Amino acid sequence: MGGETFINDQGLRIEYTKPSLSCFYDKEAYEGYLNTCLMLPNYEACGQAKYEMHICGNKKKVKQLKEKLK
């Protein structure tokens, strides 16, 4: 697990640990979910849970993300 950083649309710098997921990891998609959780004390757990639910739980979405990288 490595440290990651992104800057959201409001210019806020967010540091997080690259998650261990049950499916393909897409940095951009994960950061989008993480950004929706910033008001919560444990935003990393929230972002990971949303990613697992909306991305890993949807085989079609995983396939789309993998195709995007090609």
Tens-digit pLDDT profile for residues 43-60:
999 999 999 998 888 888
How confident is the model at residue 18, as a pLDDT? 86
Domain that holds residue 18: 3-69
The domain tally of the chain equals 1
Question: What is the value of pTM for the model shown?
Answer: 0.78
C-alpha to C-alpha distance for 3 and 15, rounded to whole angstroms: 7
Percentages helix, strand, coil for the chain (3-state, rounded to 5) are: 50, 15, 35
pLDDT in tens, 5-58: 999 889 999 999 888 888 888 888 899 999 999 999 999 999 999 999 988 888
Asked whether residue 63 carries a pLDDT value surpassing 60, the answer given is: yes
